[in-house]
Amino acid sequence: MNTKPLRVAFQGEPGAFSEAAAVGLLGEAIETVPRPTFDRTFAAIADGAADLLMVPIENSLAGSVLRVFDLLLDHNLAIRAETVLPIAHDLIGCPGATLAGIRSVESHPMALAQCERLIAAHPEWKRIPAEDTAGSVREVLARGDISCAAIAGTRAAKHYGGVVLASNVQDNARNFTRFLLLSTDHSPVAGADKMTLVTRLAHKPGALLSALQPFARRGVNLLKIESRPIHGCPWEYQFFLDVEATSPNALEQAVDELRRETQEVRVLGLYPGARNNPEESAASTGRKP
């Protein structure tokens, strides 16, 4: 019996870190579906192009991927899992290129931000932002200009036939990105121990404190908080929370109380937290953490 492979959409071109995260979490048997932008990625399931999405949510050096936070609100998708990928950047050029001959470097803005030391050491380089890391390698190789280089992972260099001019060029070797696996399936996930939710607070003093107290009273660990502006309501914000669901009853009680304390609460996912320890992941790639 022939079964179609699971299709997983990601933002970027083949060879992107998001593609590597999808393969690492779900295995080589999946079919990866590149999409040019985050907006197109989030539309991939509705378009019939994919079954699941893999998107980056935060990087340990450059911070949160804000567009993804906004798109999570715009789409009725559930977080089904997360994974953490060690990010090792290479400077990649065309065959025949040399480090001394480079005059411009391009990549996704977050990747450029993670390699400030390398770029600052070469003031003659022009910095060019691109839609994604792997796509910048594709463009550099397509032009064939040996004075141009891209910053991306080794996976992209191999895919497009680029030459690695310098390895591990990120500012900090402990560079990790957390990715979310998204689906239209909102059913319970086995082994779920982490919750992501978003809440809209009343616009009054002490609103944030009141929203967090239900978790503190029940010993629920708050892992992350991220504020995003509410469109159409200047200077008002909604807050994304990541919490540990070590006690399901305590978490349920905290969320119920949160609903009474705030204007709106939406659970984006109750899912298994990443099992791949960043230090172990870095070691498995042969890179120093």
Residue 30: which domain range?
7-86+176-186
* pLDDT tens, position by position, 235-261: 888 999 999 988 888 999 999 999 988
Residues labelled catalytic: 177, 179
Q: Does the residue 133 lie in any domain?
A: yes
pLDDT of residue 183 exceeding 90, the answer is yes
Q: Does the residue 283 lie in any domain?
A: no
Q: In 113-158, where do the E strands start and end?
A: 126-129, 148-152
Report the CATH number at residue 148: 3.40.190.10
**What is the residue whose two structure tokens read 């932002």?**
129
Mean pLDDT, the chain, integer: 91
The candidate with the shortest Cα–Cα distance to 231, out of 73, 55, 38, 75, is 73
Q: What is the model's pLDDT at position 2?
A: 58
Q: Does the residue 23 lie in any domain?
A: yes
Report the CATH number at residue 223: 3.30.70.260
Q: What's the CA angle centered on 17, arms 19 and 182, to 5 degrees?
A: 55
Residue 164 backbone dihedrals phi, psi, to 5 degrees: -80, 110
Q: Does the residue 277 lie in any domain?
A: no
What sign does the CA torsion over 274, 279, 283, 285 have?
Answer: positive
* pLDDT tens, position by position, 155-169: 999 999 999 999 999
Final residue of a structural domain among 135, 151, 186? 186
Residues whose CB falls within 8 Å of the CB of residue 280, separated by 6 or more in sequence, listed in order: none
Are residue 266 and residue 211 in the same domain, yes or no? Answer: yes
Per-residue b or e along 6-17, where b marks 16 or more CB atoms closer than 10 Å to that residue's CB: ebbbbbbbebbb
Counting the structural domains of the chain, the total is 3
For residue 165, count other CB atoms closer than 10 A to its CB: 20
Are residue 19 and residue 75 in the same domain, yes or no? Answer: yes
* pLDDT tens, position by position, 54-110: 999 998 888 899 999 999 999 999 999 999 999 999 999 999 999 999 999 999 998
Q: Does the residue 276 lie in any domain?
A: no
Q: Does the residue 47 lie in any domain?
A: yes
Q: Does the residue 287 lie in any domain?
A: no
Q: Does the residue 282 lie in any domain?
A: no
Q: What is the model's pLDDT at position 277?
A: 59
Are residue 161 and residue 115 in the same domain, yes or no? Answer: yes
